[in-house]
Chain A
Amino acid sequence: MPVHSKLEKFEDNWQTSMGGWFPNEKVVLRGKDVFTELNDKPWMEYLLFAATGKESPKIARLLEAMWVICTSFPDPRIWNNRVSALAGTARSTGVLAAAGALAVTEATVYGLKPIKGATDFLYRADQRLTKGENLEQIIKAELKQFRSIYGYGRPIVNADERVKPMMEFARSIGCGNGKFVKLAFEVEDYLSATRLKYQINIAAVCAALLADEGLSPEDFYHMATLAFTAGAMPCFIDACKQHEGGFFPLRTSRLNYQGVEQVRHWRCKA
Chain B
Amino acid sequence: MKLFRYIIKLCKWARGALVFALLVAFSLYMLFIQVKQKQNVADFLLSSIFYLPQSITSYVLRIGNLSEENIMLKKENGKLKLEVDLIKEYAIENERLKKLLLFENQWDYPIFLTQIIGHNPGTYMTTVVVNSGETDSIFYGMPVFTTNGLVGKVSKVFSKHSMVQLLSDPNSRTSVISQRSRVLGTLFSKDNGEMQVQVSSYADLVPGDTLVTSGLGGIYPKGIPVGVVSKLEKNNSEVLSYGDIQLLQHIESLEEVFVIRKNMDWIVWSEE
Please determine whether chains A and B interact with each other in the same assembly.
no
